[in-house]
Amino acid sequence: MVEIGKSKAPKTMKPPGRSQWKPLSSISIDKNGKRKRINGSSKNPNMIPLGKNKILADRNKDKEEVEERKKVEKSNESDGGEATFLISTAPAAQQLGFFLDRFQSANKIKLSPLELDAYKDSCMVKLAEGIAQDLDNLSDHIKSAFGPSWKEVLTEEKLVEGEIDAGSPALIIISTSASRSLEILRGLKSFTKQCFPAKLFAKHMKVEDQATSLKSSRVNIASGTPSRINKLINMDALTLSRPGIILLDMHRDVKGYSLLTLPQVSTEFWDLYKSHFQQRLLQGEMKICLYGAVPINEKLKKMSNPIDDN
């Protein structure tokens, strides 16, 4: 019996929501080679082989190489962001031309053709390209400069009578200040753990104490400022009896000055060079290493070899 006035409303169909849809099944193959149907969601429903993507790997490799090049270029820029050039990566003849041009300019002289002929390309140290010349890479560059004998020359701590005199370093590093000298030595810890380096600057150090220390011990590495180095040589405390390398720190301060351009310090360096280094350089007993970068515009202006101009 049907009650009057209480007819049932027709049932409406609701559209299925997202949660009502079930993802398609996928097929996988187990370790026994049998096909297996997997119902439900799958991160890889089309069964695309998942392995090392060679295209993406090559792209990532290229990206890493670009980033590495940018890192080297950035480390070679000056503090002001100016484009620079690693002078010691240039051919030795160009390095020598740069150095002699700076020498003539600073001393307001012009060397004669005969004087220029006395200088040889072998006076300069050429360092590897593609490696930033910062404190982190300094020890690697030094090893390369000294060659296979670097360990014997730079880490041994005993004096050898008739061969290794007291206070005669194989590597002399010259920089603009005491603080910079200490920074450089921190980058050479791999060499100075056994044979302590000589700190040759005036800040907090008496020249008499430095002289006493030099006269009684083997010194492989010395780092300091031109003025104090010159004074200790004149006192016969620091000797130059070992063939070696004079590393000139080309780092520029916040004002853009370097060892060869800072007014008072550059004058002191050229006095030191003329008094004690020049003849040894000409005789082949010493080499110059220009460590660091110079501005591109300075390079273009100064790289012409004065030897070729005469």
Among the listed residues 171, 155, 172, 153, the one whose alpha carbon sits nearest the alpha carbon of residue 163: 153
d(CA 133, CA 129): 9
Query: Which pLDDT score, from 0 to 100, does residue 163 have?
Result: 87
pLDDT at 192: 87
Low-confidence stretches of the chain (pLDDT < 50) are: 1-2, 18-19, 21, 66, 69-70, 72-80, 305-306, 308-310
pLDDT at position 77, please? 43
pLDDT value, residue 205: 87
pLDDT for 64 equals 60
Whether 154 contacts 105, CB under 8 Å: no
Between the alpha carbon of residue 308 and those of residues 113, 148, 180, the distances in Å are: 9, 34, 35
The pLDDT score that the predictor gives to residue 161 is 86
- Predicted pLDDT of residue 193: 84
